Structure 1
Amino acid sequence: MDIQQRMISFVIKSNWYLFVIVTLLGFINTPFKFALGILCGALLVTINFHFLRHTLYRSFKAENVLSAEPRSILNVVLVKYYIRFAISGIVIFALINRNIVEPIGLLLGLSVVVVSIMVATALELTRLIFKEAV
């Protein structure tokens, strides 16, 4: 498996693992509204990541790329991205405005994908450095 596919599969798996671990730790160790913020943020960002991945895979399939103009593929991807971005913004605004969740907990939950991407990058860099050292 090449490096890109290995990183993508690692990020997908680690998103869900981090989602479960951080949410459980949040409900065990923090007040309910804070833990609910972690849950909502992590769920929102993980679902967004999976929809983005699905959109990119479908848009850049060989038959789609060969049959359509590159400009139209880019427009479709960007339109879907901005629709998801707007919906996420509305959901985050509603959660904070109605005082359903703690903003810091929500921010912590929203960082799940970023943490998994950073861990995947660090592991691949370590793998490459030690591979060259041998």
Structure 2
Amino acid sequence: MKAKSSMAIFILAAVMLFSCSKDASVLDIFIPNLSNQWVSDRNTNFFFNSDDPDKNKNESTFTGNEQNPDTGDIFQLTGKYKNYDVEFTFTEGPEKGVTYIGKFIKNSNPLRMEMKAPGNVKVTITQNL
């Protein structure tokens, strides 16, 4: 009887250990809502469109653009996200080829991205609901 209870405790501890590890956590799954206009701290607007018709996924690619309302300039970009990780690369304009890497900020309301490019260039992009 003692061996059975010891084995049950061992199995229970192993299950708890694996279910609490970061890689196995269901809590890390995040499905961002890319719709609506997004505004940046550099006074521009961003628009994102998922490339996947099934938008209810935690991993996808997207296209979009950054628009400067003062100059009328529009610069296209492509990107991808997986859970909270997000990145995009400009495909035209003065930042053509520049990749921004960052994260969706967990529990931000409205949803926000904090992005960084080479040279410590930072931009915060917030969903405009």
TM-score range, shorter chain: under 0.3
Which structure has the greater CA radius of gyration?
2
Higher helix share: 1
TM-score for both structures, normalised by structure 2: 0.25
Q: TM-score, normalised by structure 1?
A: 0.24
More relative contact order in 1 or in 2 (CA 8 Å, sep 6+)?
1
Between Structure 1 and Structure 2, which shows a larger proportion of strand residues?
Answer: 2
